[in-house]
Amino acid sequence: MVARGLEAFEPLSKAEAALLAGLDSGHYDRVGAGGLPETGDTELVVRAELIRTLLLGGPEVPRLHETGLRLGGACISGRLDLEGCRIGCDIGLVDCLLEFAPVLRSAVIDSLILDGSTLPGLAADLIEARGDIYLRAARVDGVVRLRGARLGGELVLDGVEVNEPEGVALNAERLEARGGLLLRSAVIRGGIHAPNLRLGDAFNAIGARVERPGGMALDATGMRCSGDVSLRRIEVEGECEFNGARLGADMDLREARISAPGQTAAVSFRRAAVDGALLIRDGAKIDGVLNLSGAVIGALVDEPDSWPEPGDLLLNECRYDGFLNSPIDAESRLDWLARQDPARWDEDFWPQPYEHLASVLIGTGHADDARRVLIAKERLQRAAQRSRMRWRVVRWIAALRDFVLGVTVGYGRQPFLAFIWLAAFWAVGAVAFELVWYNEAMRPVPAMMLRAPEWVLCGAPVGSELFLPSLGQLRGGLAAAEQSQLACFLSQPEAASYPRFHAWAFSLDALIPVFETGQTDFWMPDVRDPIGYAGRALVVAQTIAGWALSLLAVAGFSGIVKLR
């Protein structure tokens, strides 16, 4: 099939003749052995200008089949330049060896199929394809440029190998596709530049490898994706950014290996929104910073083995609805939060991650774990506040205050702790005062009793005489040899009507005076005895501790001692 419009291409090569002979078949016209041709095989050469002529048509050019131009196994010589052209059919160059990068800037086509081909690049900025663009298992030794492209279908790069190690290998900035972007098992040596990418379906890069050490390997800033973003088993050397992205389903990083140590972030989701779950588990490893600052996530699915190293996690202002198939106990999640290092970013403390985690734990019925998280937050926040204080003495006083608040009422988060401390002081006091009583180092309190003959005379041994001003006479001492004044007093008949001593009641009366058991009104440790002196000091300490713990409990229940 040779028309007058093709006379300029005479003589035709064997491959060109085969192409023309099969134009109306609708099948791929495979020349040679059918696979990728060898360089220099003149019989398999098809001139790019001939392909352009067939695609654009004309009054003397053979009409293509409705499916478009389909050629396989050819060497395309020259540059296929279709910039700005309107082509109402598919362009299929499968398993072809292209001498120069095809140019389809601002072209309008149906679909572009370059599966299995080898080419030095692709210049297709602003292309409009009513169908799909395929580069499955292709090899591109240069840049694939699709900046501003608009596709009615998908961009399919499964198994592609793109080599541009010194810069951007795939430029899909502002690309819009009603379908998805498929990079399964692709090897990209260079960066993927895809800010403001718009996808009506999934972004699937399962098993892909992207290499751009020390640079931006995957830039998907501002991406909009209605389907899943699946980076499962991906291997990336370089930074990945999804800042400001809006994902309508899951972000899957299971089994992913992303390495960008020492760079700004290995993976960054600053201000991103993930309507589904963020999955980082099953052996996923991020070597570098994981930045979730300001992100809004439906659910987190993770495991400790996949968490970043300490200092490499940023969660400030990150919000999530809950955890799925993930650790949810306070100990594990506090370890997770402890991997943040605000000082690395010139800040002292981020309270929001702790407060949000606590709210999530409360919402899932883990109130005790939430309380532990809030106590840890108070402790760290107070430490950060103290570090900002100028004077050392003030810091010491604040440290003592915070220590007391922490151990007594859990910074207001566990006010019932104050009652435990009160019970402990009560028990210790009871034992101590029982020992004071056992060592006979107690005495009555009322002045009337201290002047009574039965008490005064018990302070003098038998055989001695003592003048009693209250009676105006001399009386003999009552204390037997080595008998204490208290023991002597208790042996007197007059002491039978005096209130008996009870250590537990005395300790409670000294600790919480409002109980008014009356024990401290009748008995008190005798300061003339060293043991009694120690007991008197304990009474004072218990009174101070009782008032302080009671006030702290009230303050804890009212929330006064909390920082907010």
* Residue-by-residue DSSP string for 19-87: HHHTTTT-S-EE-TTSSSPPTT-GGGEEEHHHHHHHHH--TTSPPPPTT-EEEES-EEES--B-TT-B-
CA–chain centroid gap for 439, Å, is 61
Angle between helices 392-409 and 367-387 (to 10 degrees): 170
Distance CA(285)–CA(283), nearest Å, equals 6
**pLDDT tens, residue order, the chain (564 aa):** 334 467 778 888 888 888 888 777 766 667 766 678 877 678 889 999 999 988 988 777 788 877 888 888 899 999 999 999 999 889 999 999 999 999 999 999 999 999 999 999 999 999 999 999 999 999 999 999 999 999 999 999 999 999 998 899 999 999 999 999 999 999 999 999 999 999 999 999 999 999 999 999 999 999 999 999 999 999 999 999 999 999 999 999 999 999 999 898 999 999 999 999 999 999 999 999 999 999 999 999 999 999 999 999 999 999 999 999 999 999 999 999 999 999 898 888 999 999 999 999 999 999 889 988 988 888 888 888 888 888 888 888 878 877 777 777 667 677 777 788 888 888 999 999 999 998 988 888 888 887 777 787 777 777 676 666 666 667 677 778 778 888 888 888 877 888 899 989 988 888 886 777 788 888 899 888 899 899 899 989 988 888 887 777 776 666 665 544
- SS3 assignment, position 173: coil
Which contacts (CB < 8 Å, 24+ apart) does range 109-118 have?
109/82, 110/68, 111/68, 111/153, 113/70, 114/138, 116/36, 117/36, 117/93, 118/36
Distance CA(197)–CA(212), nearest Å, equals 20
64's tokens: 């293509």
Angle between helices 530-558 and 503-511 (to 10 degrees): 50
pLDDT of residue 564: 47
- SS3 assignment, position 138: coil
Contact 55, 82 (CB under 8 A): yes
Distance CA(98)–CA(381), nearest Å, equals 63
Distance CA(284)–CA(258), nearest Å, equals 8
Candidates 433, 338, 325; CA nearest to 377 is 338
Burial class (CB in 10 A: 0-12, 13-18, 19+), 263: middle
DSSP state letter for 224: E
Bridge partners (DSSP) of residue 46 are 76
Distance CA(55)–CA(57), nearest Å, equals 6
The phi, psi pair for 444, rounded to 5°, reads -70, 160
pLDDT of residue 76: 93
Look-up of token digits 């810069």: 167
Distance CA(353)–CA(362), nearest Å, equals 14
- SS3 assignment, position 426: helix
Q: Which residues contact 128 (CB under 8 A, 6 or more apart)?
A: 106, 107, 108, 109, 149, 150, 151
Contact 544, 521 (CB under 8 A): no
- SS3 assignment, position 214: strand
pTM of the model: 0.80
pLDDT of residue 7: 75
